[in-house]
Structure 1
């Protein structure tokens, strides 16, 4: 169980770390999402089959009956809120009531990407544990151990895009993000202030289909990562020194030479908002993508 029943560690010896074998029965149940003493609270799906933008109070209210039960394995019951800064105010107040009167043998772990967005009363009742991103060497070992058949080039892209987050690296390595980003870079890497129209139309069709919403969201996220990557390099008055996407260093150098950093930041803020608006306003994703890419390409001339 979790911290009880069949223990993860020898109870007589404090563990040096929380690392356990993936073959441990508790680890297997957690990976399968079937451990009876673990509840993960995260954003649910909305009416249109897309993830909600926040954790609702109805979802947060699931915690009290779960934590009020006796542990199935005789140990602790554990809740992971991922992420706590995505709770709306009503959900946060519901969780706050639990923190004010916590049940016995209950552990609540709250992931927070922006701790400042949490209610001060929640922050004051929690212990902060800062998790630093893994370095490249550890990320490489992590991906190699879990995805040994993954091509080295794809592993390098996933590692770079994940920026030290192992779970995100796994998602990227097994998803469409690297391919979609490479296709987008190829559309822009023409040496001219015009995109490769044929390739761009094909990419727009691939992410603009009714069943390709996830692909579009993945591309927008990957593109945002890449823009931040080359803008940081531009701010340092340098280029991308380690290329992970074919052609990205050449494209970044051409964009950087076209206009000052401030203008690029302003342009990208506007273009990225338009890309996101295609989701919130249910616009034609193909047309929005083509228009945004064409405008960015024109700005490089």
Structure 2
């Protein structure tokens, strides 16, 4: 079972359940065939960033141990089995007390650069990784490693780069510096340039099944109400990190509020409640809430469309009123029309992130159009 410890992935030394992906990396490492770029793919919350940090921790700790062993005969932590052909490493495990691990946890390792969304001039979180941020990679990778070994870049997430940033990274992938390792987390690899995808080796992480998710949540959050646990399990779709976020965050409540807006005055939305919801996710400091709502609505639509295609129903109801809303949508128009409509509306919802549009107005307009199509 994959276990994702809450908190930032750089503090998370263990990740259980993705042994196949780890073996793929270790086989390349032990065989001297290490690709310079790796793409770790799968839905949000599976542990992709945690795996990227595990790889970075392993590579940098191994490099430091090798340098230490070369000067005094053995590393502080016994050296690295990488340099003894009889005992190649069988795991990415590195002690949390290793100097490299401690520096990574502190965000101060000189041979690790993390590329992620920053903040704008007003201190607000950006909606994408910019070209200015991406250009930091070239001078970093052009420097000599502090330990005389590898320099590692984690891009979290690569599919959040804008086009100019992606092109800047592509140039590095085309002519990678020696002993440079680029680890790209990708929630939606299809959004990346095909030329980037073709230059990276893929490590695909798979979701957990329901039984493992139930055990994971019961173990990690034993005091969580069964109803809340069920919502988190169903909405997470096999992603344990996402399940923790849902269990402790706003996702279920925001989705329930949206469904209530659509269901209460059917087929006309509850305008007062909709405006209140728009204001809640449209404030300058509510970018995360808006992203959570968009993701939750997208999850619900995908769930309903799949269920409707198979059985015509929604299955297990985890959000109040969703079964009734699903039945109403099913009777309003054919399935293929809903797919086409949602593709268009969801693109507009996401555009509010990339184009810094008025999120409140975008949400109200999209919900109104969705409701009009339902009536």
User: Shorter-chain TM-score: which interval?
Assistant: 0.7 to 0.9
Which deviates further from its counterpart, 246-255 or 53-62?
53-62
Report the alpha carbon displacement of residue 206 of structure 1 after superposing the two structures with TM. Answer: 2.4
- DSSP 3-state at the match of 1:128: strand
Alignment partner, residue 294 of structure 2: 220
Alignment partner, residue 275 of structure 1: 349
Q: Is the 8 A contact 1:71 1:77 kept in 2?
A: yes
Alignment partner, residue 114 of structure 1: 188
Report the alpha carbon displacement of residue 85 of structure 1 after superposing the two structures with TM. Answer: 4.2
* Aligned match for 1:103, one of 168, 174, 177: 177
* Structure 1 unaligned spans of 5+: none
**TM-score for the superposition, normalised by structure 2:** 0.63
Q: Which has the higher contact order (CA 8 A, sep 6+)?
A: 2
Aligned: 1:230 with 2:283: no
In 2, distance between residues paired with 1:146 and 1:22?
21
Report the alpha carbon displacement of residue 266 of structure 1 after superposing the two structures with TM. Answer: 3.4
Deviations 1:169-224 (Å, cap 9, x if unpaired)? 44444432221111112222338423344433432332344443432332222212
Which deviates further from its counterpart, 21-30 or 82-91?
21-30
Deviations 1:43-81 (Å, cap 9, x if unpaired)? 333456555454333322322333344555676432112
**TM-score for the superposition, normalised by structure 1:** 0.75
Which deviates further from its counterpart, 244-253 or 87-96?
87-96
Q: Pick closer, same or farther for the CA change 1:232–1:121 going to 2, 3 Å.
A: closer
* Aligned match for 1:175, one of 246, 249, 252: 249
- DSSP 3-state at the match of 1:8: helix
Q: Is the 8 A contact 2:279 2:360 kept in 1?
A: yes
Q: Pick closer, same or farther for the CA change 1:52–1:204 going to 2, 3 Å.
A: closer
Report the alpha carbon displacement of residue 132 of structure 1 after superposing the two structures with TM. Answer: 2.2
In 1, distance between residues paired with 2:284 and 2:117?
22
Q: Pick closer, same or farther for the CA change 1:240–1:211 going to 2, 3 Å.
A: same
Q: Pick closer, same or farther for the CA change 1:9–1:197 going to 2, 3 Å.
A: farther
Alignment RMSD: 4.2
Report the alpha carbon displacement of residue 88 of structure 1 after superposing the two structures with TM. Answer: 4.7
Report the alpha carbon displacement of residue 154 of structure 1 after superposing the two structures with TM. Answer: 3.3
* Structure 2 unaligned spans of 5+: 1-74
In 1, distance between residues paired with 2:145 and 2:81?
13
Which deviates further from its counterpart, 101-110 or 6-15?
6-15
* Aligned match for 1:48, one of 111, 117, 122: 122
Q: Pick closer, same or farther for the CA change 1:105–1:224 going to 2, 3 Å.
A: same
- DSSP 3-state at the match of 2:204: coil
Q: Pick closer, same or farther for the CA change 1:37–1:94 going to 2, 3 Å.
A: same
In 2, distance between residues paired with 1:269 and 1:2?
55
